[in-house]
Amino acid sequence: MASAVAAKTAGGSIPDAGTFILDLIPSSVANAFATNDILQVLVFAVFVGSAIAAIGPDRSCSLVRGLDLCLEVVYRIPGWVMRLSPLGAFGAMAYVVGQYGIETLASYGLSHRRLLRGCCGVHRGAPRDRADPDRCPGLAVRLAHPGRVRTSRSGRRRPRRSCRG
C-alpha cells in the first residue's frame, strides 16, 4: 500500500503557504465549477454570501428570492429524474431478461432474499415468530396484521391510506 502511494505521488511536492492561498482564489467562477475545484467553489460561495449579508436584508431580498427561484428550477430536474428512475430500472431489467433469459432473475431474487434475511431476519422457511422486530421497525405489527395496519417511526399504529385520500 505504501509503495502504491509513493508511486502515485512520485515527483510531487508540497506547495508552500503562499501558493496554497493563491490557489484558493479562482481565476474565474466558470473555471472553478468546470474543473470541479471544491475549495475554489467554496471560497466563491463564501464571498457571495458575505456580499449578500453586507448589502442587508431589505435590499438583498429580491436577489435572495431570485436565487431561491433558480434553486427551485435546479432541484425540479432531479425530481423528474427520480420519478422516471423506476421506468429506467424496468428497462434495464427488461434488457437483461431479453438478452440473457428469465433465469437471470434468480440471482436478483437470491440477492433480495439475502437482503431481507440480513436486515430483518425474514427468509423462506423461518417461522414468523422468529423474525426480529427490533431490527426491522414495525415488523411485529405487519406480521400480526398483514395488509391492514402500518406503523409510523414512533411505533404508533395508523390506518393505511388510500391513493385518493
pLDDT at 161: 46
The pLDDT mean for the chain works out to 78
Q: Return the pLDDT at 72.
A: 93
Segments making up each domain of the chain, as ranges: 108-159
Residues 157 and 140: their CA atoms lie apart, in Å, by: 11
Model pLDDT for residues 59-77, shown as the tens digit of each residue:
888 888 898 999 999 999 9
- Helices then strands, counting H and E runs in the chain, come out as 7, 2
Task: At 11, give phi and psi (nearest 5°).
Answer: 85, -5
Determine the pLDDT at residue 94: 92
Q: What does the pLDDT look like over 100-139, one tens digit per residue?
A: 888 888 888 888 778 877 776 555 555 555 555 555 555 5
* pTM of the predicted model as reported, rounded to 2 decimal places: 0.45
Burial class (CB in 10 A: 0-12, 13-18, 19+), 133: middle
Q: pLDDT band at 165, cuts 50/70/90?
A: very low
Judge whether residue 88 has pLDDT over 90. yes
The pLDDT assigned to 112 comes to 79
Least confident of 1-5, 51-55, 106-110: 1-5
